[in-house]
Structure 1
């Protein structure tokens, strides 16, 4: 969410943040026009999509008339689509009743439309004059819920309430559910501030800013680490080429050094990619891929390594071929990560199965082992960032980023991932991917390139086993 300040157009409120929820208790239609017109004008001048939801106490023509008193180009804003005037029934009512789900869906639609059309966000006026007494409790609950949602959105809303229809209890609820409430006292407009909500909103914005700074810091540090690491890794590889000149002990140290370089490469790559995903800068490059043969090739390339750990890896599929549109590099990364975990947590003599099932509209990839399994109380948290089932580094090392990244990459493919596991019996990771196909796509180039890079990828992904 953008955390820049917006001009409210309301005297005594001044600049506000996205996510601000304002209310006005008005005595007359003229009262709410005095507040709503400059509020909407500020939005139009600030590149915001402006939505005015009117009730039975006014009309489209009357709103235009009041706006034209203060603006000369109202008609151009309406024609361009930046100013939208609609009756309350188009937001709040479904089947002749107030419907909270419809209202939330409509708000989300207009916020998304605003951003899609190049506006900074959505500014709305919503008159609740239509609200009948039978809906009061339901609407209060809705207002309370939406107050929790809008701080996450590029959205500002001014809710209008008829003071003559509101009793003391309802006024208290209005104050509770809004950051600011505008009331008229002695012919002057006064502002009642909900300090608790204002503090919470500011804390949320600060949290967003801290998160942005954290991501920026992690990305910068990760890139800075890559340069010296590449020098170290290059030096180690040169020493390996001259291994005839070193004794067995030195060769052992070189091997340890190289493995730990790969571990750092893996960690840095994961941190950079998870940071990009968080910032929505991560792009996948989809191509048509025979997923059955591709996953089989990955499995076969890992089998020899697993055998050195006395673990058997087998592949099986219920179809010979299935072409889907995906990013082969990222699918390979997903499968290698799951195989790395399976090998890490499966003792000698164990078995790992990689299965591909054709489910018609989706393909199912399964990595199954008979290792130590995952405790029931840990299964919900394994896809969370920096979570590890066993935090004892003496047993299994890792950053806790791997499965979080796997889940993010699967979701980038519009897929899903789930786990079935029983402690001391093994785990089964199930990935579902949509079976979409891109027309006229050559598969050969990425297959050759991927095969050439795979040994290095395996070394990196398996570096912390």
Structure 2
């Protein structure tokens, strides 16, 4: 009894399933949101649903048994698809429906983007899925194309691309402004610091009062330069234009350089410093220049804000896959409230009225640089006990063959010209800069300097006099220094002369561009006298080497 009564229930369930299946099929075919087009095996449209009518503007009667789907697609895109398939498969594929249906005919799922052309000749982007329809033996009896309007997504993509282009343009404009502003600030600062250095080391020796005045000028000038550099660094980082090159960096080498720079400052304040000894070479993946910048900033702060006769110790430890560098000081420490404000721009945590000068930017730049190098930074502090700032970078192995390369310091270059004076040409339009460099050159009996106020005169003089080294400003009136340098490089008579860029443009992107263009070296203003003279000697040695190797 129970078994007999179950049969009607099964039949009713089957009928319900079939009914639901029919309803589902009907819903799909009458959907207004999707175009559903079915063709026969030759690609002639056999079914054109309500959604296709709404999207394309044709009635089913106008297209069924009349046209192929390729007739309502952009013909150039269909041709491009055929060409791409021909290249991919190494088999000629003719433009038309064959190109649209090729993959589907080989039972490969195919979804592509093409442009539909409507009855009124308007167009819209669509995403189309095409599937081969087969009978029971597996023969292709037609194709099913399901499409959807892609206009909204394309519009969002277009708006996003336009926004990104606008942002990139704004960043470029900001970078150009920063480069220009840096140049405008550095140019007068070059004269201030340059002439102050001349007075400091000039003859007759300055009096005690004069030396104090000169010291104040130099102190304020170098501080202003530090402020310019840090503001420029922060702006470049914020605009996303700072360039980094992550590579294996030897901590031993970087520590040695940092120690040489910071220890004199610490010694003058009675601050003791200890650095780690590297029994095992330790390398991190980071940008060498920026790692050094970060460490110098942390070490300098630990010295500046320490107590008299305090100490600074640097420690290095391996923390999982990271190398942690800690800078520990015996300063006054920081309160929890101060720690919360530590990385805010221009916030000196109430130290504005103290004896130590600062910009309130250094730690912000440090944190951003560490983040850009995929590192991390942190701080722990106890009031009246001191602070420890730490940074972490990913540990890595030594670069190939690095251990086999000796890193011995070269002696200062000595250029022997048989008692004759070396000739230099300085192309510069700023009279103060010309006067400064002229006085520096005049202190050396083996050098003689010519000058030119613009690039055109500089090129003419270089061709006529063939100086051994050329100093070239970048921002010259009329023709720029980079263009002038390229002209001299292209001239066989002057191509061998080393050309040093001497410019107030200190943006890394500008320096890289100049070096890639062909400059022998790049010196930023304000000039550090020792660095300038060293670069000049290296260029003179190069010029002498080239001259000796030239055929008689």
TM-score where L is the length of structure 2: 0.45
Who is 1:401 aligned against? Answer: 361
* Equivalent residues in 2 for 1:13-412, closer than 5 Å: 28-29=33-34, 69-75=72-78, 76=80, 158=152, 216-242=176-202, 244-285=204-245, 288-299=248-259, 301-317=261-277, 319-359=279-319, 361-390=321-350, 392-394=352-354, 396-412=356-372
Partner in structure 1 of residue 400 of structure 2 = 439
Q: 1:209 to 1:289 in 2, by over 3 A?
A: closer
Q: Secondary structure at the match of 2:303?
A: helix
How far has the Cα of 1:207 moved from its partner? 9.2
Once the two structures are TM-superposed, the CA of residue 238 in structure 1 deviates from its matched residue by 1.1
- 2:378 matched to which residue of 1? 418
Aligned to 2:262, the other structure's residue is in SS state helix
Structure with more contact order per residue of length (Cα contacts < 8 Å, sep ≥ 6): 1
Give the CA RMSD over aligned residues: 4.6
> Gapped runs of 5+ residues in structure 2?
1-30, 36-49, 57-67, 86-123, 129-149, 414-522, 530-552
Larger Rg, first or second structure (1 or 2): 2
Aligned-partner Cα distance in 2 for 1:225–1:232? 11
Q: Measure the CA separation in 2 of the matches of 1:287 and 1:417.
A: 19
Q: Which string of whole-angstrom CA distances, capped at 9 and with x for unpartnered residues, describes residues 284-342 of structure 1?
A: 34554431353145235423321321222222357442234543332222111111111
The reply on whether 1:430 has 2:390 as its aligned counterpart is yes
Alpha-carbon distance, 1:252 to partner: 0.7
Is residue 124–residue 158 contact of structure 1 (8 Å, CA) maintained in 2?
Answer: no
Unaligned runs of 5+ in 1: 1-25, 38-64, 82-122, 128-155, 161-177, 180-197, 458-465
Report the CA distance between 1:35 and its aligned residue: 9.9
TM (normalized to structure 1)? 0.52
Give me the whole-angstrom Cα distance separating, in 2, the residues matched to 1:336 and 1:434. Answer: 20
Inter-partner Cα distance in structure 2 for 1:234 and 1:311: 30
Aligned-partner SS, 2:293: helix
Measured after TM superposition, the shift of residue 242 of structure 1 is 1.2
In structure 1, C-alpha distance between the alignment counterparts of 2:71 and 2:386, rounded to whole Å: 71
Are the counterparts in 2 of residues 277 and 408 from structure 1 also a CA contact under 8 Å?
Answer: yes
Deviations 1:191-240 (A, max 9, x none): xxxxxxx9xxx999999987775554333211221122122211111112
Q: Is the 8 A contact 2:171 2:239 kept in 1?
A: no
CA contact (8 A) 1:293 1:321 kept: no
Aligned-pair CA distance for 1:255: 1.0
Deviation at 1:367, TM superposition (A): 0.8
Question: Residues 32-74 of structure 1, C-alpha deviation per residue, up to 9 Å, x if partnerless?
Answer: 879999xxxxxxxxxxxxxxxxxxxxxxxxxxx8786241244
Distance 1:124 1:386 in 2: 51
> What CA distance in whole angstroms lies between the structure 2 residues aligned with 1:447 and 1:157?
65
Offset at 1:361?
A: 3.0
Distance change (3 Å), C-alpha of 1:205 and 1:32: farther
Q: Flag the 1:417–1:36 CA change in 2: closer, same or farther, 3 A.
A: farther
Cα distance, 1:282 vs structure 2: 2.2
Once the two structures are superposed, residues 264-290 of structure 1 have per-residue CA deviations (whole angstroms, 9 ceiling, x without a partner) of 222222233333333333223455443
- The 3-state SS of whatever aligns with 1:275 is helix
Q: Is the 8 A contact 2:380 2:388 kept in 1?
A: yes
CA contact (8 A) 1:292 1:356 kept: no
Q: Could you tell me how far apart the structure 2 residues matched to 1:232 and 1:265 are?
A: 11
With over 3 angstroms needed to count, the CA separation of the structure-2 counterparts of 1:446 and 1:158, relative to structure 1, is: farther
Distance 2:167 2:353 in 1: 31
CA distance in 1, matches of 2:392, 2:407: 22
